[in-house]
Chain A
Amino acid sequence: MERFEYASPATLKEATALLGSSWSDAQVLAGGTDLISLMKEYLVSPKRVVNIKSIGELGGISKTGAGVRIGATVTFDELSAHPLMRDYPSLVTAALGVASPQIRNMGTVGGDLCQRPRCWYYRGGYGLLAMKDGKSLVPDGENRYHAIFGGGPAYFVSPSSLGPALVALGAQVKLVSPSGSRTVGVDQFFVIPKSDTERETAIQSDEILTEILIPAARTKNATYEVRHKDALDWPLATASVALKMNGSKVGSARVVLGHVAPTPWPAAAAEKALAGKSIDEATAEEAAAIAVDGAQPLSQNGYKVQLAKVAVKRALLEAAGKA
């Protein structure tokens, strides 16, 4: 790790004033579970690290007129145990699936959205798009954990655990900089970089993600994650669903896949197919098949298509209380 200067401001205003116009000026430290590893690998070497965990206004989960507000420094552990999360089992499942008790005690919801991809080419120093001599190393390389949607040139998968559930719930994030604040839909927060100089999220180097806002609309929601191991493992494929019910039938549905694309991946055709249906084995199976239609697996990750399909089916049945 390179040396850096350190500040632990008590207010958001002081914190944003400490950030810089480039990522090498300053980095935000919350749980540290990603940033500290990135710095140890010399992938990120900021001149300054700004710890935001002492900023009271960035913590806590509360009810607002519009829904529920989750402060950026809330940990996975706090999130999964909070009474206001009872209406959002999709988020609780995703939070409890994260790594290990230690990581869930350290890692924050803001950090979950801002963490960098785990793609081993990126972590090995080849950049976000894994380029060498103008060509991505992924299609002909070690790609068993890479994307099956998106079609390149970015093949990493979004590492966010909460992202798919938040997109399905229609959540927004607030980003604050010294010059003001903006609210961005979580679906717009994640972007697919077209070149190595772009990033995979909308946040700028002088901004802090301060809170997540979940709209109040009642949904039946669930997340299903497929992993190789029981603990300490990243998912291979996940699905989060949120169903607005109209009696016993689906009024409208959100179906969002995770760990299969450079962003949480909405399955619009499956959402459409579910409208007006009641959820049972057959309709869930049908929607799941539609959700993975058009997948473009690479040489080693064809298995992910089936896992994503199963994840959608099981998330739908779980949300409908028929698992």
Chain B
Amino acid sequence: MSSTKDEIRKKRKSAFSRRGFLKGLGAGTGVLSTGVLAEQETDAAPATPVQGPGAVAITLDINGRPHKVNVEPRTTLCDTLRNHLDLTGAKRVCDRGTCGACTVIIGGKVMYSCTVLAIEAQGKKIQTIEGLAQPGKLHPVSQAFWDNDAQQCGYCTPGFVMAAKGFLDHHPNPTYEEVKKGLGGNLCRCGTYVGVRKAVLQAAKEMQGGRNA
């Protein structure tokens, strides 16, 4: 183990213990933790409120409903959905904006929720897998995954379904090649890509004619 890696380890450890310490202080944390860079603030007197680093009350517009939650500014949208709002469809897998398992639709565009801060997602329309199905009826994309055997272990599936829905919203009548490229941001370790592509082409047909939910 190199000295540099050791230093990073140490930093990580100290980060955790400091966090524990601050937590231990309970209600006082918020007060203690404000005022980083305080001298600069008095100089420049920015009109913008500076929030955190303690938990901040935010409201997220998820699947058409407002959700109030208290999270630190560093908390990602993925962790907020899963750990604070019990919306566990988006999966935390690589946690580095690569695998696509955490894909949600923000402002009409597919994004990796592990690489978006919850606090910056305020004021935007967030769609997650939980908002797709109607009572008793699957969304055409989910149904097409079912029909085409487009999953094995299923862990990448919610991300893939959201990526497919976001793709079809912008490309209602895609070719096979476009589907391949359009879903290039999601990985499936079981290798169900052929089924996924067939499913997206089927869903595209199903969603024509005003059924584009």
Which of B15, B40, B50 is A6 in contact with, Cβ under 8 Å?
B50
Give Cα A105–Cα B120 distance, bound, in whole angstroms. 15
* Contact bitstring A1-35, B, C-beta under 8 A = 1, else 0: 11111111110001101101000011001001100
B69 at the interface (CB under 8 A from A): no
Which B residues are in CB contact (< 8 Å) with A103? 97, 112, 185
B167 at the interface (CB under 8 A from A): yes
Quick check: A100 and B184 within 8 Å, CB to CB? yes
Quick check: B50 and A5 within 8 Å, CB to CB? yes
Which of B48, B167, B180 is A10 in contact with, Cβ under 8 Å?
B48
Quick check: A231 and B115 within 8 Å, CB to CB? no
* Contact bitstring A68-92, B, C-beta under 8 A = 1, else 0: 0000000001000000000000000
Closest CB in chain A relative to B94 CB, distance in Å: 10
* Contact bitstring A88-104, B, C-beta under 8 A = 1, else 0: 00000000000111110
Given contacts A3-B53, A37-B97, A232-B98, whether A102 and B112 have CB atoms under 8 Å apart is yes
Which B residues are in CB contact (< 8 Å) with A101? 110, 163, 166-167, 182-185
* Contact bitstring A37-48, B, C-beta under 8 A = 1, else 0: 101101001011
- Select from chain A the residue with minimum beta-carbon distance to B15: A2
Stretch at the interface among B1-9, B80-88, B200-208: B1-9
Give Cα A2–Cα B16 distance, bound, in whole angstroms. 9
Quick check: A102 and B163 within 8 Å, CB to CB? yes
Quick check: A14 and B47 within 8 Å, CB to CB? yes
Given contacts A47-B37, A49-B73, whether A100 and B185 have CB atoms under 8 Å apart is yes
Which A residues are in CB contact (< 8 Å) with B119? 6, 8
B61 at the interface (CB under 8 A from A): no
A120 at the interface (CB under 8 A from B): no
- Select from chain A the residue with minimum beta-carbon distance to B45: A17
Given contacts A29-B120, A231-B184, whether A36 and B51 have CB atoms under 8 Å apart is no
Quick check: B185 and A32 within 8 Å, CB to CB? no
Which A residues are in CB contact (< 8 Å) with B182? 101
Given contacts A7-B49, A106-B111, whether A32 and B2 have CB atoms under 8 Å apart is no
* Contact bitstring B183-201, A, C-beta under 8 A = 1, else 0: 1111100000000000000
Quick check: B40 and A20 within 8 Å, CB to CB? yes
Which A residues are in CB contact (< 8 Å) with B40? 20, 25
Which of B52, B100, B181 is A102 in contact with, Cβ under 8 Å?
B100
- Select from chain B the residue with minimum beta-carbon distance to A31: B115
Which of B33, B36, B109, B187 is A105 in contact with, Cβ under 8 Å?
B109
Quick check: B4 and A132 within 8 Å, CB to CB? yes
A124 at the interface (CB under 8 A from B): yes
Quick check: A18 and B44 within 8 Å, CB to CB? yes
Instruction: Specify which of A33, A101, A125 lies most central, judged by the most chain B CB atoms within 10 Å of its CB.
Output: A101
Give Cα A2–Cα B74 distance, bound, in whole angstroms. 7
Quick check: B51 and A100 within 8 Å, CB to CB? no
Instruction: Specify which of A10, A42, A53, A77 lies most central, judged by the most chain B CB atoms within 10 Å of its CB.
Output: A42
Quick check: A3 and B48 within 8 Å, CB to CB? no
* Contact bitstring A111-125, B, C-beta under 8 A = 1, else 0: 000000000000011
Which B residues are in CB contact (< 8 Å) with A230? 180-181, 184
Given contacts A42-B11, A51-B120, A105-B111, whether A99 and B50 have CB atoms under 8 Å apart is no
Given contacts A6-B51, A10-B48, A127-B4, whether A26 and B37 have CB atoms under 8 Å apart is yes
Closest CB in chain B relative to A206 CB, distance in Å: 10
Which of A18, A25, A102, A132 is B110 in contact with, Cβ under 8 Å?
A102
Quick check: A3 and B72 within 8 Å, CB to CB? yes
Binding site for A on B (CB under 8 A): 2-5, 7-8, 11-12, 15, 19, 33-34, 36-37, 40, 44-54, 56, 72-74, 76, 95-98, 100, 103, 109-112, 115-117, 119-120, 163, 166-167, 180-187
Q: Pick 20 A–B contacts, CB within 8 A, sort by A.
A: A1-B74, A4-B73, A5-B37, A5-B51, A9-B48, A29-B120, A32-B115, A36-B76, A36-B115, A40-B96, A48-B37, A51-B120, A101-B183, A102-B103, A103-B112, A106-B111, A125-B7, A126-B2, A126-B4, A232-B98
Binding site for B on A (CB under 8 A): 1-10, 14-15, 17-18, 20, 25-26, 29, 32-33, 36-37, 39-40, 42, 45, 47-49, 51, 53, 77, 99-103, 105-106, 124-127, 132, 178, 230-232
